[in-house]
Amino acid sequence: MEILNSLWESICSIFTSSGLATLSWENYVMMCISFILLYLAIKKQYEPLLLLPIAFGMLLVNVFPGIMANPTNEMLTEAQVLARNLDPASYTTTVLDGTTYYNVGQNGGLFYYLYQGVHLGIFPPLIFLGIGAMTDFGPLIANPKSFLLGAAAQVGIFITFIGATLLGFAANEAGSIAIIGGADGPTAIFVTSKLAPNLLGPIAVAAYSYMALVPIIQPPIMKLLTTKKERSIVMQQLRPVSKIEKILFPIIVVVIIALLLPDAAPLVGMLMLGNLFKESGVVSRISNTAQNELMNIVTIFLGVTVGATATGQVFLSVSTLGIILLGLIAFCMGTACGVLFGKIMCAFTHGKVNPLIGSAGVSAVPMAARISQKVGQEENPANFLLMHAMGPNVAGVIGSAVAAGVLISQIPH
């Protein structure tokens, strides 16, 4: 009988410490959301490189919240220390009410340590290093006016900031929500980790979701704001860009931006370093590592840990709905501002610029440029806008980093 009681107690003990007893309904809802995201990543292939680790991080943290637990400091009596086979001499002591307690540190969960790369703003610049090593700024150098479209598409960020403030979000939270309009995941994470780390989960999920939904969100806005004639405009071929111009570009950009806007220096600096690796042609091994192994490793860590911030208690709130809605507005505004500025450039150049390339001013490289190409070819199958759209597209990456620098420098945090 005693054995049965002991067995029952063991079973009860295992059950009470298991997830079945400790998890709340929010965790189960989040598990369902993570299953949906996994489905979208695997079956629909929506940004799978990021959505898959994000969704799995979300799943893991809601099944086992301890994986994201902070390190703790336990105060134990001498008897408790000895009971754990620990050496009391190894720990500092605190005396409370005449009793001596030993400060025994407890390690945090695995994701807590990986998350420090996000928390300290390390991973997003490393991702930018890889992006820089993969990016060809040739179209932008050949047609520097593309910078204007990259700048125009950032207007949505600042308009959304007003909207978020009106909805009652604090300035730091509004800034983090608004940067979703830049359609640049690492930038959104970088800004949020600085301004409002508590919103990291919802903002990262919203940013990457909208980037994945570019082919669905952008075309209706592009078609709504342009005429058939404008969409059919064939642009002149870009001039070839020499190697020396490509080598000088990252050096000049980083000097100018880091001098004027130091807060954007980590992102722009790493982006340009990666690009210099590529264009210099003398460090192909490093360039390959930056755009492949390093990028992949950081992507895994960034994805799972950002996903792990989306616990049920944080994610399932009214403010998350507000973030997702405002993020969508920011993204649409960015697209619309880019296209409208493209129309202005079209008018000024007497029809030499196809306004469709303006939508690529939101980052989302290279998806946004591909959409400009696709929508343009629907009107004129012989029209090839891809290279023209790559100019605003990479300008958008620089523009969103500059906008991030403005937000970080102007908003108290």
Partner 1 sequence: MEMALNLLLAGIVIVFFVLVLLIFIIKIYSTIVQAAQNGSQKRKDAKKAAEKKPELIKAEPQVSTAQPTATDNEAIPGEVIAAIAAAVDAMYDKPFKIKSVRRSRANSGSSWRNAGLFENTKPF
Interface contacts to partner 1, rule CB under 8 A: 140-141, 144-145, 147-148, 150-151, 154-155, 157-159, 161-162, 165-166, 171, 174-175, 241-242, 244-245, 248-249, 252-253, 256-257, 260-261, 395, 398-399, 402-403, 406-407, 410-411
Residue closer to partner 1, measured from CB, 257 or 271:
257
Residue type, 77: T
The distance of closest approach from Cβ of residue 360 to partner 1 in the complex, given in angstroms and rounded to an integer, is: 15
Residue closer to partner 1 (CB basis): 151 or 326: 151
What's the min distance (Å) between Cβ of 344 and partner 1?
13
CB 244 to partner 1: min, Å: 5
Smallest separation, CB 128 to partner 1 (Å): 17
Could you tell me the smallest distance in angstroms from the CB atom of residue 159 to partner 1?
7
Query: Which of 126/142 has CB closer to partner 1?
Result: 142
The nearest distance, CB 325 to partner 1, in angstroms, is: 18
Given a contact cutoff of 8 angstroms between Cβ atoms, the answer to whether 195 and 218 are in contact is no
Question: Alpha carbon 78 to chain centroid distance?
Answer: 47
How near is the Cβ of 366 to partner 1 at its closest, in Å?
A: 20
Among residues 114 and 369, whose Cβ is nearest to partner 1?
369
CA dihedral 221, 227, 233, 235 (to 10 degrees): -40
Residue closer to partner 1, measured from CB, 11 or 256: 256
Nearer to partner 1, 227 or 410 (CB): 410
Q: How far apart are CA 288 and CA 291, in angstroms?
A: 5
| CB-nearer residue toward partner 1: 154 or 363 | 154
Q: How far is the CB of 132 from partner 1 (least distance, A)?
A: 16
Q: Please choose, from the candidates 126, 141, 410, the residue with its C-alpha nearest in 3D space to the C-alpha of residue 274.
A: 126
Rounded distance, CA 272 to CA 254, Å?
Answer: 7
Residue nearer to partner 1 on the CB measure, 84 or 243: 243
Torsion angle of alpha carbons 13, 18, 23, 28, nearest 10°?
-140
Q: How far apart are CA 174 and CA 192, in angstroms?
A: 10
- 76 bridge partner residues: 102
